A and B are shown apart, each in its own frame.
Chain A
Amino acid sequence: MTKKIDVQVNRDGTFRAEFSGFAGDECIDQAERLQTVLAGFGLVVEPITVERKDPAQIALEIGDDEETEQKIGQEVPR
Chain B
Amino acid sequence: MSFWLRGSLWAPDDPGVWSGQNGGNQVVSIISSYSTKIKLAPRASRGSGSRTDPTWKLLHEAVIAAAEELGGEVGVEIADYSGTTRGVDFAISTPEFPRGAGIVVSPGGEVRFLYDHYGGYRRQAQQICDLVTKHYTTLAVARALRELNYEVDVAETGQGAERRVMVRGVM
Contacts and interface: CB of A to CB of B under 8 A. Distances in A.
B94 interface: no
A70 to B, nearest CB: 15
Interface residues of B, number: 60
A57 B28 CA distance: 10
Contact of B30 (A7, A11, A35, A50): A50
B21 interface: yes
A28 B27 contact: no
Nearest to B20: A58
Given A5-B150, A23-B25, A31-B5, A43 B140 contact: yes
A45 B166 CA distance: 17
A75 interface: no
Interface string A35-59: 1011111111111111111110111
B70 interface: no
A14 B37 CA distance: 9
A38 B168 contact: no
Contact of B29 (A12, A14, A20): A20
B137 A13 contact: yes
Contacts of A20: 29
B141 A6 contact: no
Interface in B153-171: 161, 163-171
Contact of A55 (B6, B18, B137): B18
Interface in B113-164: 130-131, 133-134, 136-141, 143-145, 147-148, 150, 161, 163-164
Nearest to B56: A42
Contact of A58 (B18, B58, B137, B144): B18
Nearest to B169: A5
16 contacts: A7-B166, A7-B168, A11-B134, A27-B28, A28-B5, A31-B5, A31-B30, A32-B5, A37-B144, A42-B59, A43-B39, A45-B35, A46-B1, A46-B37, A50-B31, A59-B20
The 7 closest A-B pairs by CB, nearest first: A13-B133, A42-B55, A23-B25, A43-B140, A41-B140, A53-B29, A37-B144
